[in-house]
Each structure stands twice: as C-alpha cells, then as structure tokens.
C-alpha cells in the first residue's frame, strides 16, 4: 500500500507499517540472539527495532529509495547500536580470547593445518568441556561483522542514510574492485576452515538462518552452534591479522 509521507501518516497507517515489518524485526532479533549480553533480552532487541522503524518512518522522504530498504537499514542499525552500547566485555574474557587466538596461531604454524579442538584445549591446559565453556563465554565479544553495513544505521551525525542507499544501476569501478578483493580474500580464508565451520558460516551469513535453525540442520544444540561460530570467527580474525 502506498503512503503519502509528505502529508504525514495517520496512527492507522503507522500501525499497518508496524504489522508489515514486525516479522522482519523479530527475525533480525533472533539472528542477533547469540550476541545478546546478560542485561538484554530478545524483547529488548525487538523494542529497539520498532523504535528504529518509527525513526525511519519519520525521516523517510518519498522518491529517495524504497521505504523497505531504508527501514531495514534503520531497524538493523538500531539493534546493532543497542548491542554495542551495552557491550562491556570483562578484561578476563578479552584475555581468554587473546589466548585462544594465540594458541590457534601457534598450532597452525607448528602443524601446518587448522588445529583440532582437543589440541587447542591442550595448549591452553583446559579440558575440552572447559574450552567449550570459554568459547561460550566469549561468544558475545567476538564479532566479525559480515552483516554490518557501512552506512551509519543508527546515529544522526549529519548523515542522511537515504543518500547512502546504493543505486543498483550505479557502477563504481574502484568500489567494485575493492569489494571483489575483500570478498576474494575472505572466500580464501573461509575455504581453509574445517568443513563444519564452513557450513555454519554459509548457513548463517548467506542463507540467513538463525542459530537454532542451523542446529537443526547440523544436528547440534544451539549452544554448540554458537561455540563453533565463535571458534570460526577467532580462526578468521587470526588469519586476517596474519595477512595484514
């Protein structure tokens, strides 16, 4: 249904827009569930997404991109900003992540391959259960932002996101080359991961499945999926640092 934003929207029209975008808001919140700190719930994320949607509706200008594209930027941006605002990672957790990365790096150089979980746990002098628990604790502090967008989705520092929505007809050779180079590097690094981690990343980032859905596909618990996801990101970050 087309809306006349120039004349303002009625409460009924706003409610209709909320109903239209609510499934997207809930789905986006469920995909970010693995990054939730203890002080936030999925309902908090959904509420933040609704605020982002209303902000998009208030600022949307007819003719400058599609409402759907703009609103999705604002919704996801609001959720990510909320997560970052409360993302306080204890020093002990950061230290554990650094130790895991160092262990991965050392073992890969020594073995000439990706280390197994048991090998990393051994270097860290942890049992396998303790190692998995550490990965679980670190899950909220490791983010390799495949899903973040470069436009500022949740702040108002003089930036109109409508101006940042890409024109599908535009062809910027330099940007295309840079994007292709980044994608090629990332593809090479992902291809070096164990098969289970490659499948997980593919399902999460490209198929856009939730951790719970991935668990059903891979016959794993949701907690184990989160552990594998964190481990895969640690491996990628370590490799990226080594190629920088």
Asked if the structure places residue 166 within a domain, the reply is no
- Mean per-residue pLDDT, 192-216: 88
Please state, for a pLDDT cut of 90, what percent of the chain lies above it: 23
Regarding whether 10 and 122 lie in a shared domain, the answer is no
Residue 159 in any domain: the answer is no
Structural tokens at position 205: 């980032």
How many domains does the structure of the chain reveal?
A: 2
Is 110 found in the same domain as 72? no
Q: Are residues 228 and 118 part of one domain?
A: yes
pLDDT, tens digit (0-9, with 9 covering 90-100), for 97-119:
889 889 988 998 899 888 899 99
20 shares a domain with 128: no
pLDDT in tens, 211-231: 889 999 999 998 899 889 988
Q: Which residues form the domain of 17?
A: 5-87
CB distance 211 to 226 below 8 Å: yes
* Average confidence (pLDDT) over 173-188: 65
Could you identify the residue written with the tokens 């990332």? 186
Residue 214 shares a structural domain with residue 95: yes
203-209: long-range contacts (C-beta < 8 A, 24 or more apart)?
A: 204/31, 204/229, 205/146, 205/147, 208/31
Q: pTM to 2 decimals?
A: 0.57
Closest CA to 162 of 62, 78, 82: 62
Q: 64: which residues sit within 8 A by CB, 6+ positions away?
A: 162, 163, 165
Q: How far from 75 is each of 17, 211, 238, CA to CA, in Å? A: 13, 20, 31
User: For position 23, what pLDDT does the model report?
Assistant: 94
């Amino acid at each position: 249904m087309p809306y006349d934003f120039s004349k303002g929207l009625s409460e009924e029209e706003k409610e209709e827009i909320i109903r239209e975008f609510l499934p997207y808001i809930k789905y986006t919140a469920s995909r970010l569930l693995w990054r939730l700190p203890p002080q936030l719930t999925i309902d908090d994320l959904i509420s933040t997404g609704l605020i982002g949607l209303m902000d998009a509706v208030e600022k949307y200008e007819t003719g400058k991109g599609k409402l759907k594209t703009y609103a999705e930027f604002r919704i996801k941006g609001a959720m990510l900003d909320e997560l970052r605002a409360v993302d306080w990672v204890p020093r002990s957790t950061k230290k554990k992540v650094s130790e895991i990365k160092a262990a991965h790096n050392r073992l890969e150089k020594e073995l000439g391959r990706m280390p197994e979980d048991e090998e990393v746990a051994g270097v860290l002098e942890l049992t396998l259960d303790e190692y998995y628990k550490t990965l679980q604790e670190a899950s909220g502090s490791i983010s390799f932002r495949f899903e973040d967008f470069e436009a500022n989705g949740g702040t108002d520092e003089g930036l109109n996101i409508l101006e940042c929505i890409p024109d599908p007809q535009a062809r910027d050779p330099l940007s295309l080359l840079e994007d292709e180079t980044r994608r090629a590097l990332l593809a090479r690094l992902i291809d070096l991961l164990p098969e289970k981690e490659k499948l997980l990343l593919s399902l999460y980032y490209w198929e856009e499945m939730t951790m719970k859905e991935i668990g059903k596909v891979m016959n794993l618990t949701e907690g184990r999926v989160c552990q594998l996801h964190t481990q895969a990101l640690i491996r990628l970050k370590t490799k990226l640092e080594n190629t920088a």
